[in-house]
Amino acid sequence: MDSLKFETSKNLMDQDVKAKDNSILSIENLSTGYRLSHSRTISLHQNLNFKVGIGELITLLGPNGAGKSTLLKSLVGIIPVLDGDIYYNGTNLKNLSRKEIARLVAVVLTDKIDDKYLSSYDIVGTGRYPYGSFTGKLTAVENKKIINALNVVGANELIYRYFHSLSDGEKQKVLIARAIAQDTPIILLDEPNAFIDSPGRVIIMNLLNELILKHNKTILLTTHDTELALRYATSLWLLGKENYFKVGTPDKMAESGLINQLFDREGVVFNKVSKRFETN
């Protein structure tokens, strides 16, 4: 692949996607990566700037190892940022307690959950943990929210089944239900389609759309499934190695040739018209 020219994200900000002034999430000069020791850091992206509006479905698209997961997790505070600031509704992440953050952002990750005795109900129940008493006892109201969340994802019959006995698709639904139960304006999903078959992916994406339209959520997800990303995203963020970061609408991104730049390989090319990868 040709080496990519470094361009700031501002240059490519599409006029159609105007950042709202009261953006729900905004990043300033963010640098993501890992601090291994006092002196050694691995820097993935530097000086990122963007604003996320309410009701957006933002897809972070990029090849493996680009730093999508790191960026996502940095937004929640799971991975510490190297530099810069993150604002939720105007408040700096650093000034929010973990609990406050938990009431703003819920996540769905790729982490394997090994426990044999957790039921779907238990899993979704942890979504209610930022609220309620410390004893963990779930009131009737809480109980309702849990059942409700499972309803939304269409997983009612899974309520009392052991989580680890579910299929990957079912597990994903339950984890999304958990995020829903957490009652947050924002939901972040890391590779939600990773182990799901094609029809399953469509179901998940439709579900996410529903969450935005009917439940007022704002969603960010990471994926390396270009076609799905182009179909559903309101805004596409292209991430690549060596600090590559570009933002735009799916159409603009497809036309711009950036997807080719990022993804084209020997013998396989992204077709801007059909918006698919095809052999050369």
The secondary structure of the chain as a DSSP string is -PPPPP--GGGG--TTSPPPTT-SEEEEEEEEEEE-SSS-EEEEEEEEEEEE-TT-EEEEE--TTSSHHHHHHHHHTSS--SEEEEEETTEEGGGS-HHHHHHHEEEE-------SS-BHHHHHHHTTTTSS-TT----HHHHHHHHHHHHHTT-GGGTTSBGGGS-HHHHHHHHHHHHHHTT-SEEEEESTTTT--HHHHHHHHHHHHHHHHHH--EEEEEES-HHHHHHH-SEEEEEETTTEEEEE-HHHHHHHTHHHHHH-BTTEEEETTTTEEEE-
102 versus 259: smaller Cβ distance to another protein: 102
Q: Which stretch binds another protein (CB under 8 A): 82-90, 123-131, 206-214, 267-275?
A: 123-131
CB of 132 to another protein, least distance (A): 9
Residue 87, amino acid:
Y
Determine if 168 is a binding residue for another protein (CB under 8 A).
Answer: no
Determine if 145 is a binding residue for another protein (CB under 8 A).
Answer: no
Binding mask 169-208 for another protein (x = CB under 8 A): -------------x--------------------------
Q: Candidates 29, 165, 206, 271: give the one binding another protein (CB under 8 A).
A: 165
Q: What angle do CA 115, 121, 125 make, to 5 degrees?
A: 90
Q: Which stretch binds another protein (CB under 8 A): 147-155, 160-168, 205-213, 215-223?
A: 160-168
Determine if 101 is a binding residue for another protein (CB under 8 A).
Answer: yes
Site for another protein in 41-80 (CB under 8 A): 73, 76-78
Q: Candidates 3, 134, 199, 279: give the one binding another protein (CB under 8 A).
A: 134
Q: How many residues bind another protein (CB under 8 A)?
A: 39
CB of 96 to another protein, least distance (A): 10
Q: Candidates 4, 12, 54, 109: give the one binding another protein (CB under 8 A).
A: 109
Determine if 126 is a binding residue for another protein (CB under 8 A).
Answer: yes
182 versus 243: smaller Cβ distance to another protein: 182
Binding site for another protein (CB under 8 A): 73, 76-78, 97-103, 105-107, 109, 111-118, 122-123, 125-127, 129-130, 134-137, 160, 162, 164-165, 182
